[in-house]
């Protein structure tokens, strides 16, 4: 997958390698052919590297909002405004995938004290009940008491939300969170 952003002047090219957990090989290549932080008109070229479609668009925003956005980009060490805009678009598209009920992927993070009564047994039971959607697990012994568990999940959003609810119902858990991701199949 390639996304090429073309602006006014050629400054640099960046290649980002982003394997997606639990999805096998996933790569994102971004070539920044030019960067102009003060130009709000730019081209985005997308495709598979063979048949790329070129799209040019411009945006008009409140000056204060742009300044806030630029300050955030700088804080996040994002190399260009174009990449930041692209990231926002993809993040919005992932949220849409979850709302639409398409197949999605993500990770559930658990932290618990394994000494707590029956907690390991209960968590294992939930995971066996939901084995279709849980594609991988990783268990890290953080210290003498605490365990960190990461469950890579793939399936319909409703299935994944149900797993999170079942896990949250287990008494004694210190932390449960969901990183709602994507299979990447519908994103460029
Ligand atoms: Ni452990």
Run of H or E residues at 41: strand 41-47
Collapsed DSSP state (helix, strand, coil) of residue 42: strand
DSSP for 105-165 reads EEEEEEEEETTSTTHHHHHHHHHHHTTTTEEEEEEEE-SSSEEEEEEEEEE-HHHHHHHHH
Residue owning tokens 């996304």 = 3
Domain ranges of the chain: 2-99, 104-180
What pLDDT is stored for residue 52 in this prediction? 61
Exposed, middle or buried: residue 149 (CB in 10 Å: 0-12, 13-18, 19+)?
buried
| Strand bridging mode 41-47 / 2-6 | antiparallel
Please indicate, yes or no, whether the overall pTM of this predicted structure exceeds 0.75. no
What pLDDT is stored for residue 187 in this prediction? 85
Centre of ligand 1 from the C-alpha of residue 111, in Å: 9
Centre of ligand 1 from the C-alpha of residue 142, in Å: 7
- The CATH code of the domain at 104-180 is 3.30.70.1150
- Residues around ligand 1, an ion, CB closer than 5 A: 141, 147
What pLDDT is stored for residue 54 in this prediction? 65
pLDDT tens-place values along the chain, 188 residues long: 334 443 333 333 333 333 333 333 333 333 333 333 333 344 444 455 555 676 778 889 999 999 999 999 999 999 999 899 999 999 999 999 999 999 999 999 999 999 998 999 999 999 999 999 999 999 999 999 999 999 999 999 999 999 999 999 999 999 999 999 999 998 87
What pLDDT is stored for residue 19 in this prediction? 39
């Amino acid at each position: 997958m390639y996304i090429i952003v073309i602006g006014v002047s050629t400054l640099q090219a960046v290649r980002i390698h982003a394997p997606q957990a639990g999805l096998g090989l996933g790569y994102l290549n971004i070539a920044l052919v030019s960067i102009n932080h003060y130009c709000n008109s730019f081209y985005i070229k997308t495709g598979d590297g063979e048949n790329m479609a070129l799209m040019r668009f411009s945006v008009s925003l409140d000056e204060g909002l742009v300044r806030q956005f630029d300050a955030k980009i700088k804080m996040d060490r994002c190399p260009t405004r174009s990449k930041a805009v692209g990231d926002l678009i993809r993040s919005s598209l992932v949220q849409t995938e979850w709302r639409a009920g398409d197949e999605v992927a993500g990770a559930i993070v658990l932290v618990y004290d394994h000494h707590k009564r029956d907690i390991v047994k209960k968590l294992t039971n939930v995971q066996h009940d939901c084995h279709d959607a849980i594609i991988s697990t990783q268990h890290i012994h953080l210290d003498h008491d605490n365990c960190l568990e990461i469950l890579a999940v793939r399936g319909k959003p409703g299935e994944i939300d149900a797993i999170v609810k079942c896990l949250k119902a287990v008494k004694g858990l210190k932390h449960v969170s969901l990183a709602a991701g994507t299979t990447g199949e519908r994103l460029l």
